[in-house]
Structure 1
Amino acid sequence: MSVATAELDLGPDPSLLLLDDDEPFLRRLSRAMEKRGFDVREAGSIADGLNAVKASPPAYAVLDLRLDDGNGLEVVEALREARPDARIVVLTGYGAIATAVAAVKIGATDYLSKPADANDIVSALLARPEDKPAPPENPMSADRVRWEHIQRVYELCDRNVSETARRLNMHRRTLQRILAKRSPR
């Protein structure tokens, strides 16, 4: 039985905040989540998201990481303070382990890379903490693991190229070339 047709246990408060600056995606996801029983509120900017959290903190949130006016992690922090029991999923088109770790450390329940469909998002929102994800069908390549490690160290060094290069025992220009490239598959 699919998540769309299953009777979902959303609890007494099915409020859901969707934050994304991609309007077509936001509208599609909003309709899909309403069909699943959520009471959806949309926000297209960090400022709108923060205002929605202040007005009435939702029980659930799906937040884009990178928006035109800032970082979705600001809204994660505000929501976690306003409502500690909220279930928060961070979405991004720039999937990297470092940002996933940062999102989870400040209170996100889960982290999904775009494109994620409504069923994946609902599963992440409603997953119990003891549930373990299935092993990946297509694990990361060695090149991708290396790239992810470099990205993590780079984030931990506050995006300081010289410090990252020193810690990785790598020439600074080599590191800059790696950081300028897209992530390997």
Structure 2
Amino acid sequence: MITEPVADQHVSDQRVLLLVEDDAAFARTLGRSFERRGYRVLLAENVDEASAALMDNSPGYAVVDLKLKGNSSGLACVQMLHQHDPDMLIVVLTGFASINTAVEAIKLGACQYLAKPSNTDDIEAAFEHVAGTAEVEVTNRTTSVKTLEWEHIHTVLAETDFNISEAARRLGMHRRTLARKLEKQRVK
């Protein structure tokens, strides 16, 4: 269900934010925080609700959870939002961060990709830091086998729209084993 928290009527359309998050408590908390900063916040739980919100609104900003309930993917939502308005600043927020999903989110139109927990300050900073920088430090540390496994698991998860059973089948492991690995490695 699309909900729109009470907002100041004088907020300009440039400060409209669409929050696509299926965790209702987190969405309310984050939405209220953005409202205190002068945004008019629209809440949606999935891709269909986000699409419906675009019929009557023109948000300049969006925060999209990567893994939505059911088989709804935040990546599909990013793609839909970017196709609707290529100038919309979209931040992907996830508790299941991986290089693969980060790269795909950026390719599909997100301006930034943040791992949870992230707060309103982090998200606003991401909206403001759209351009890349060559000043990022490159380390000499090699990627570990555990990290490579984690990345491969998330690649397969993204390919299956986060369907655990199908991903486990493609990875050649039991569904419970995959679920345990996901819980053990979850970014908090």
Give the TM-score, by structure 2 length: 0.70
Question: 3-state DSSP class of the match of 2:38?
Answer: coil
Shift of 1:120: 0.7
Structure 1 residues 152, 66: CA separation in 2 closer, same or farther (over 3 Å shift)?
closer
Q: Which residue in 2 is equivalent to 1:112?
A: 114
Confirm or deny: 8 A CA contact 2:101 2:155 kept in the other structure.
no
Return the alpha-carbon distance in structure 2 between the equivalents of residues 83 and 67 of structure 1: 21
Output the CA distance in 2 between the equivalents of 1:126 and 1:83: 18
Asked if 2 retains the 8 angstrom alpha-carbon contact of 1:14 and 1:60, the reply is yes
Of 116, 126, 131, 1:124 maps to 126
Aligned equivalent of 1:151, options 150, 153, 178:
153
Between the aligned partners of 2:35 and 2:83, the Cα distance in structure 1 is 26
The answer (yes or no) to whether the contact 2:111–2:127 under 8 Å persists in 1 is yes
The answer for the alignment partner of 1:78 in structure 2 is: 80
**How many angstroms does 1:144 deviate by?**
4.2
Residue type matched to 2:20 in 1? L
In structure 2, what residue type is equivalent to 1:108? A
Provide the residue aligned with 1:5 in structure 2.
Answer: none
Which residue number in structure 2 is paired with residue 18 of structure 1?
Answer: 19
Q: Residues 47-126 of structure 1 correspond to what in structure 2 (within 5 A)?
A: 47-69=48-70, 70-126=72-128
Structure 1 residues 147, 133: closer, same or farther in 2, change over 3 A?
farther
Shift of 1:83: 0.8
What pairs up with 1:153-168 in 2 under 5 angstroms? 154=156
Pick closer, same or farther for the CA change 1:160–1:73 going to 2, 3 Å. closer
Name the CA shift for 1:134/1:19 in 2 (closer, same or farther; >3 Å): same
Aligned partner of residue 81 in structure 2, secondary structure: helix
AA at the equivalent of 1:125: F
Aligned to 2:14, the other structure's residue is in SS state coil
What is the RMSD of the two structures over their aligned residues, measured on CA atoms?
3.4
Q: Offset at 1:135?
A: 5.5
For residues 28-55 of structure 1, give each alpha carbon's deviation from its aligned partner in whole angstroms, at most 9, with x where no partner exists. Answer: 1011111112121111232211111233
The SS at the match of 1:37 is coil
Per-residue deviation, 1:155: 6.2
Give the SS at the match of 1:13: helix
**Structure 2 contact 112–130 (Cα < 8 Å) conserved:** no
Which aligned segments of 4 or more residues in structure 1 are displaced greater than 2 angstroms? 53-57, 130-136, 139-164, 176-180, 182-185
Structure 2 gaps of 5+ residues are: 1-10, 161-165
